[in-house]
């Protein structure tokens, strides 16, 4: 059985209050008593009762994080950023994976609420088109911060990038190197970031007097099979068109699948088709050719997300109100081998 504070107090013939104060270095406890209490606590391997601390402080010192995928370069970087900041504040992080499922995401949020976490960080599943579970958590005064895949209709803080601008810059890069017919492998229909990247692609074409053609947009669900989807869409595009000379692709993993398929078909990247991806996965630098891509700051997003949530947790504890805010992090276009050509055919 774990040792209790009461047992320590009884062994030293002092009150539980005095023992508690001694462990917390209260000034009204003598140095001699503090030393005795701390020595005995160490000897007996005393650990504070987390549940009792929670009842007393109204804090569990625990947050929940719900992400679509754990084995994902971007989200693994986000998690590292969250944990790095959480450790500084003494917080435990519970990480759950929705597997891009709305039903799973809903169950996981309910579980975190039952565990009485102090707050929740969430990146929405591709299948989420109803946000009542998140609104309910907020109505129950649980701080919630969305990151990356968000819903504009939910009134909470959000940590994002400007996907429209990033996609615009990616597409403009293809235009700048001379591409005349540019396709887009887009993400699922629901997530806001997928919608915004499509908008950025379309806007770049229109701003540079290139007609938008919906037949040049290929849908990818971007789940576990996104590499395969990249291959399949590249094969289909090769069948459909012989004059596409540039593609903006929603994620690097899809782009890697597309490059693999094109190479199998004898299509030269970048001389026949130039490609720009998104996210800056590690694999985008080791494939040949290396992939020009948008660098998405996952680690910084994780840090910023936790710090925003922490601010809201503390504000709520002291009865203060924090106006929800949207924080937009900067991205960068990285030019690599998949677009290094003088002219597009």
Cβ neighbours of 123 (radius 10 Å): 25
For the chain (345 residues), the mean pLDDT of every run of 10, in chain order, is: 84 89 87 91 78 59 93 88 96 94 96 94 93 95 95 96 98 97 92 93 97 95 76 97 96 95 97 96 93 96 98 90 94 97 53
* Cα–Cα distance list, 237 to 180, 184, 264, 320 (Å): 16, 10, 14, 55
Evaluate whether 339 touches 274 at the Cβ level (below 8 Å).
yes
Domains and CATH numbers, the chain: 5-48 (no CATH), 60-161+298-330 (3.40.50.2300), 163-296+333-339 (3.40.50.2300)
Beta strands 182-186 and 217-219 are: parallel
Which among 274, 278, 246, 69 is positioned nearest to 164, based on CA atoms?
A: 278
- DSSP assignment of 264-288 equals HTT--TTTT-EEE-SB--THHHHSS
Q: What is the pLDDT of residue 23?
A: 85
Q: Tell me if the pTM is above 0.75.
A: yes
Query: Distance (Å, rounded) from C-alpha 28 to C-alpha 319?
Result: 30
* Cβ burial 148-182 (10 Å sphere, 16+ → b, else e): bbbbeebebbbbbbebbbbbbbbbbbbbebebebb
Distance CA 162, CA 248 (A): 16
Strand runs labelled E in 181-313: 182-186, 217-219, 246-249, 274-276, 293-295
- H-helix or E-strand spanning residue 148: none
Rounded distance between C-alpha atoms, residue 307 and residue 82, angstroms:
8
Q: What is the pLDDT of residue 41?
A: 86
Q: Please say whether the beta carbons of 66 and 105 come within 8 A.
A: yes
Predicted confidence at residue 345, as pLDDT, reads: 42
């Amino acid at each position: 059985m774990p040792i209790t504070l009461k047992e320590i107090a009884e062994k030293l013939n002092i009150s539980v209050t005095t023992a508690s104060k001694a462990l917390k270095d209260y000034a009204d406890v003598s140095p001699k008593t503090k030393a005795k209490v701390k020595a005995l606590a160490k000897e007996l391997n005393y650990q504070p009762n987390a549940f009792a601390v929670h009842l007393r402080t109204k804090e569990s010192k625990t947050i929940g994080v719900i992400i679509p995928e754990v084995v994902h370069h971007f989200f693994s970087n986000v998690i590292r950023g969250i944990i790095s900041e959480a450790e500084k504040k003494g917080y435990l992080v519970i990480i759950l994976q929705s597997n891009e499922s709305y039903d799973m995401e809903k169950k996981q949020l309910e579980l975190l609420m039952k565990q009485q976490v102090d707050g929740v960080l969430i990146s929405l599943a591709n299948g989420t088109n109803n946000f009542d579970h998140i609104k309910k958590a907020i109505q129950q005064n649980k701080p919630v911060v969305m990151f990356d895949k968000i819903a504009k209709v939910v009134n909470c803080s959000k940590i994002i990038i400007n996907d429209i601008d990033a996609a615009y810059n990616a597409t403009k890069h293809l235009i700048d190197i001379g591409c005349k017919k540019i396709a887009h492998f887009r993400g699922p229909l629901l997530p806001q970031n997928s919608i915004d990247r499509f908008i950025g692609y379309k806007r770049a074409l229109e701003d540079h007097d290139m007609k938008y053609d919906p037949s040049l947009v290929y849908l990818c669900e971007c789940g576990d099979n996104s590499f395969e989807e990249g291959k399949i869409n590249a094969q289909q595009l090769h069948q459909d068109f012989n004059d596409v000379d540039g593609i903006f692709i929603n994620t690097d993993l899809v782009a890697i699948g597309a490059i693999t398929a094109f190479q199998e078909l004898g299509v030269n990247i970048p001389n026949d088709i130039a490609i720009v991806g998104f996210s800056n996965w590690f694999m985008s630098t080791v494939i040949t050719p290396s992939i020009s891509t948008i660098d998405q700051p996952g680690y910084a997003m994780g840090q910023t997300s936790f710090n925003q949530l922490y601010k809201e947790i503390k504000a709520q504890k002291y009865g203060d109100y924090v106006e929800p805010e949207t924080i937009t992090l900067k991205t960068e276009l990285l030019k690599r081998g998949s677009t290094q050509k003088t002219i597009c055919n």
